[in-house]
Amino acid sequence: MSVLCFVTTLIKQFDKPKFRPIRALMFVLAGLSIIVTFIVIRVWPNENKVETDLYFYALGGAIYIIGAGIYTARVPERCKPGTFDLCCASH
């Protein structure tokens, strides 16, 4: 899912406003894909696996979802257009 998000951010055609909801949905789905990791860890226990704290996985998924919300709301660009453009793009 992350590779798909990465590739679509590089394709110029997806920069159009009509694709903004699709791009945001892709990042939300990338954040929610952590559920698969939770299921795998809980359903298939293995004593050879390294013990890990699921908090960090959940935090990563939450950051993806929050980032998609910020992208959709266009918070900094809406307040001061052009001010936050780094390398010709704000995102």
Structure tokens at 70: 């910020």
Asked whether 57 and 25 are in contact (CB, 8 A), the reply is no
Asked whether 8 and 26 are in contact (CB, 8 A), the reply is yes
Q: Does the global pTM surpass 0.75? A: no
The tens digit of pLDDT for each residue in 26-69 reads 888 888 888 888 888 778 877 776 677 788 888 988 998 898 88
**Which amino acid would we find at residue 35?**
I
* Residues listed for the chain: 91
User: In the structure, what pLDDT confidence band is assigned to residue 91 with cuts at 50, 70 and 90?
Assistant: low
